[in-house]
Structure 1
């Protein structure tokens, strides 16, 4: 679990900065590179449903995908232009996104009580992401201003490639996790994509939540794509290391989430999560690398509320609405909608907006850029607040393991 997220955190946070400074990529091109995550999320259910659940042990497929992934990360490390870089990162994300489900499958199949055992395992993923950022900023100093200009950020892909190869080899030593489905079972595309759960959209409340989930991915995409380039461009030192504050916050608020559910209810928890996105971007638009640095730090630290209070809460809400019959299908559907469709739209918009506010001196009008996702988040809050009717959530769901 540590290596799984160490790999992702090693290159994903700084990719926008690397592409802009070292490969002279435009905002739209950077958005296109980040959207490979969305295509990976769309394709992942087919790999899991058609292959992993039928023919191969999960730990072997996990190992094979990470070994292949290490090769394509190494090729991305060697790329000298965006045109050469993009195909490798696209193929890599198609290979990587299925491993998120596979690593969970290997974990759950070895546990007798996932509700109590899984959180202590999953937290190592968050630690892995944090360590990758700290290593980049405080061990190798790859995101120091002079080192970035010299192209040192490309080494993040090499570090990720080595970690991917290590996890690939290590995966073959994991406990045997054979497929549950028989290879002669009839293939059902509806099951694979979670389309059986589409009946949940007949429920007005769930339909409002579903649409809100897609729309709030637009502000989310702005953060993933632009936060690190923004901090680097305005002169914040060790931007990657400072962004790990967001992951620390995420781990802390994950523990507080059940309390907020019980104290304030589902609707208010989601509203607070969405408002946090708007507040974060308002702080980004006001802060700077000197006297306003504390505003940026607060904005980064809000990540726990932004992510946990909406997206993790949404997973729990989806689980309770679906019931036992459609639980897996419903989670597949909401993942496809958010990380697939929602993020795809979000990265496209974020890339175009970033290009619009590129100034003649090669720098960006970040104040104007951050005001746009702040406004979008407020509009989503209004949409959700007006149309979503408050309802109680099954308290048993709060004791289930939470997956990112």
Structure 2
């Protein structure tokens, strides 16, 4: 197997693990266990907590003491053990604790996977900018494949989703030890100040009004991202409570319907360079925010029959909402920061979105839904939930349009690779 194909397989398995349970865990939590929505918010906050410190910590370890591919394998082995143990847990607090352990092991492997891929490609004289994106797309395909397998095997509300993820995690752990060596480089760490070593020097960007606003709004949009990951599949599955929809395709194959979002994501990536060059980061981010409004509003009024087109369109729009925020935001950071802090700045961007944003969105949504949008019988008032999320996104968009000032330079995007 060629080196590019080996990296394709690694990317595929990496996100397969996540896709096997991330979108369907709400069905297990509410449908299988019957636990409360307030506590469910804490499940997704574990992704944010892990993203605050683990990628930096494991990056330092890989740069100083242990081969990146070996550390990657060890983390997947430990994460697989945590996922394997999850179905044995009958207490929601303990369940959240085990999920946290699993995420502490899993979240840093995303950054390590990128690092391993870049190192191996460079060592084999490949153009990383040209070769890596087509390889990374297979990660999203792996995520989609896992969603389909979880759904088609009848596992979307059962413990099997965790067993599937655990088995693949063990396979990837074993596979990683066969990858070419990525030895510690100690680059930029020996003798460096502690602040620089930990990547904290990027926080000086908050002294810049424009960048401070950008990172704050990134956090708020990061919160929106978690909402459909948390509740989307459960929302579609609960149409089974309506007799006329109980046997509908949407109910039976809700996870497959949700996978349209990931398929759309792979397609909208191709449109980003055009939109950034044509409209600039402010307009692209505003397009993303409006897309989030539509994502939630279409869910609010969609149904498996006459409103099926709204559900499908919502999933298609998700690709624009996600990509125009995450990838465009990353490119914007790349063009706005000095070269000596670009890696730290990217880490800060991820910390604000996947870290603080995920914690904020998970925690607050769990409280609000549990207090205001859950009936005495434990049923969710979905229309009000999605409309509230849509209003939230609209308010963010309005404030961003008013407060964020940026003069568009069409040539800036072309400077990224130079």
TM-score (norm 2): 0.90
Tell me how far apart the structure 2 counterparts of residues 108 and 284 of structure 1 sit (CA, whole Å). 39
Contact 1:274 1:381 in 2 (8 A): yes
Contact 1:72 1:91 in 2 (8 A): yes
1:382 paired with 2:398, answer yes
Tell me what 1:311 maps to.
326
Shift of 1:294: 1.6
Shift of 1:185: 2.6
1:358 paired with 2:374, answer yes
Contact 1:6 1:125 in 2 (8 A): yes
Tell me what 1:220 maps to.
225
Tell me how far apart the structure 1 counterparts of residues 189 and 342 of structure 2 sit (CA, whole Å). 24
Tell me how far apart the structure 2 counterparts of residues 376 and 63 of structure 1 sit (CA, whole Å). 40
For these two proteins, the number of residue pairs brought into alignment is: 391
Tell me what 1:96 maps to.
106
1:23 paired with 2:23, answer no
Contact 1:4 1:125 in 2 (8 A): yes
1:263 aligned to which of 278, 284, 306: 278
Contact 1:8 1:160 in 2 (8 A): yes
Tell me what 2:6 maps to.
none
1:53 alignment partner, SS class: helix
Tell me how far apart the structure 2 counterparts of residues 301 and 210 of structure 1 sit (CA, whole Å). 26
Tell me how far apart the structure 2 counterparts of residues 304 and 184 of structure 1 sit (CA, whole Å). 38
1:142 paired with 2:155, answer yes
Shift of 1:312: 1.0
Contact 2:56 2:199 in 1 (8 A): no
Contact 1:58 1:179 in 2 (8 A): yes
Q: Write the mapping of 1:284-303 to structure 2, written as runs, cut at 5 A.
A: 284-303=299-318
- 160 and 189 in structure 1: CA distance in 2 versus 1, 3 angstrom threshold: farther
- What is the CA deviation profile of residues 152-195 of structure 1, one whole-angstrom value per residue up to 9, with x for unaligned ones? x2100000000000000000011100111179834754235432
Tell me how far apart the structure 2 counterparts of residues 397 and 9 of structure 1 sit (CA, whole Å). 34
1:331 paired with 2:351, answer no
Contact 1:221 1:350 in 2 (8 A): no
- 163 and 192 in structure 1: CA distance in 2 versus 1, 3 angstrom threshold: farther
Shift of 1:67: 0.9
Tell me what 1:254 maps to.
269
Contact 1:10 1:129 in 2 (8 A): yes
Which moves more between the two structures, 201-210 or 65-74? 201-210
1:84 paired with 2:94, answer yes
1:126 aligned to which of 102, 115, 140: 140
1:74 paired with 2:84, answer yes
Tell me how far apart the structure 1 counterparts of residues 88 and 363 of structure 2 sit (CA, whole Å). 26
TM-score (norm 1): 0.93
Tell me how far apart the structure 2 counterparts of residues 189 and 342 of structure 1 sit (CA, whole Å). 26
Structure 1: which 5+ runs fail to align?
Answer: none
Tell me what 1:196 maps to.
201
1:38 paired with 2:48, answer yes
1:367 aligned to which of 374, 383, 396: 383
- 110 and 16 in structure 1: CA distance in 2 versus 1, 3 angstrom threshold: same
- 373 and 397 in structure 1: CA distance in 2 versus 1, 3 angstrom threshold: farther
Shift of 1:313: 0.7
Shift of 1:397: 4.9
Tell me how far apart the structure 2 counterparts of residues 219 and 118 of structure 1 sit (CA, whole Å). 28
- What is the CA deviation profile of residues 220-244 of structure 1, one whole-angstrom value per residue up to 9, with x for unaligned ones? 2211211111111123321111111
1:13 paired with 2:28, answer no
